[in-house]
């Protein structure tokens, strides 16, 4: 066995392990996001504050109606409660205004994002969109060296693992959807990990961006996401609009 083949096997193993971790991290992130959305809808701060405001008002009115005429409420105490009442009311109005401002800002971002629907973009994510049987990524190698690219499907199963010789600097790799078993993978989102190593040294992660065609935009809580086929990513991850 040659030194190059040993290095290639090390890179493949490292890429496989890293991709598996990435798949698990993506699943954990999706679960946390769903839980956060459920929690947010169940305990909306504005709704909770409005409910407390109504309860406070009812308590104040009940207190006034049932106070002893011969021993009315202390003036200072009553003034303090009115100040609290006013403070809660102002906070509700402020929260409502902020919510409207966020909605307006998000609307502007949606309009801006819609202008790149149908265009190709480079995005900083480990999710490779396979669209129309093709997926492209660009990676930067620190030196001319062998690299290993592992591709996993949404279920965490490895569908492809290739080794190639990279040149120093920017490199482009296009996947035609063919799996290691010789079958054709369906369009969708695939997790990718790239590792490189020189002369049997410890494999290191190689940074990369993926390229995809924007197929839609969606509004999330406080953010706007892009869809590239089966891949959804934040607008902030865009590195450049290709065309």
Helix (H, G, I), strand (E, B) or coil at 182: coil
CB 210 within 8 A of CB 174: no
- Domain of residue 69, residue span: 1-243
Contact 12, 19 (CB under 8 A): no
The CATH number linked to 9 is 2.60.40.4070
Q: Mean pLDDT, the chain, as a whole number?
A: 75
Query: pLDDT tens across 63-114, in order?
Result: 767 776 666 666 666 667 666 666 666 776 677 666 665 555 655 666 677 7
In angstroms, the CA 77 to CA 97 distance is 31
As for how many domains the chain has, the answer is 1
pLDDT tens string 206-223: 999 999 999 988 877 667
Say how far apart CA 211 and CA 197 lie, in whole Å.
Answer: 24
Q: Which DSSP string do the residues of 14-80 spell out, in sequence order?
A: HHHHHHHHHHHHHHHHHHHHHHHHHHHHHT-HHHHHHHHHHHHHHHHHHHHHTS-TTSPPPHHHHHH
Contact between 171 and 191 (Cβ < 8 Å): no
Q: What is the pTM of this model?
A: 0.61
């Amino acid at each position: 066995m040659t030194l190059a083949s040993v290095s290639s096997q090390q890179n493949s193993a490292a890429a496989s392990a890293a991709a598996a971790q990435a798949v698990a991290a993506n699943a954990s992130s999706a679960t946390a996001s769903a839980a956060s959305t459920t929690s947010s809808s169940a305990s909306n701060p504005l709704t909770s504050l409005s409910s407390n405001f109504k309860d406070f008002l009812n308590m104040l009115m009940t207190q006034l109606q049932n106070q002893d005429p011969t021993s009315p409420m202390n003036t200072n105490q009553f003034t303090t409660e009115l100040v609290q009442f006013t403070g809660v009311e102002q906070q509700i109005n402020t929260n409502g205004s902020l919510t409207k401002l966020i909605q307006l800002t998000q609307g502007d971002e949606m309009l801006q994002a819609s202008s790149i629907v149908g265009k190709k973009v480079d995005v900083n994510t480990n999710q490779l969109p396979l669209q129309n049987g093709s997926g492209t990524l660009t990676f930067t190698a620190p030196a001319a060296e062998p690299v290993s690219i592992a591709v996993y499907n949404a279920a965490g199963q490895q569908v492809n693992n290739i080794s190639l010789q990279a040149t120093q600097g920017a490199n482009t790799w296009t996947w035609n959807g063919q799996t290691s078993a010789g079958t054709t993978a369906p369009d969708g989102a695939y997790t990718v990990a790239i590792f490189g190593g020189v002369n049997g040294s410890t494999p290191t992660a190689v940074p990369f961006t993926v390229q995809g065609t924007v197929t839609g935009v969606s509004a999330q809580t406080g953010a706007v996401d892009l869809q590239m086929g089966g891949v959804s990513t934040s607008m902030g991850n865009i590195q450049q609009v290709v065309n």
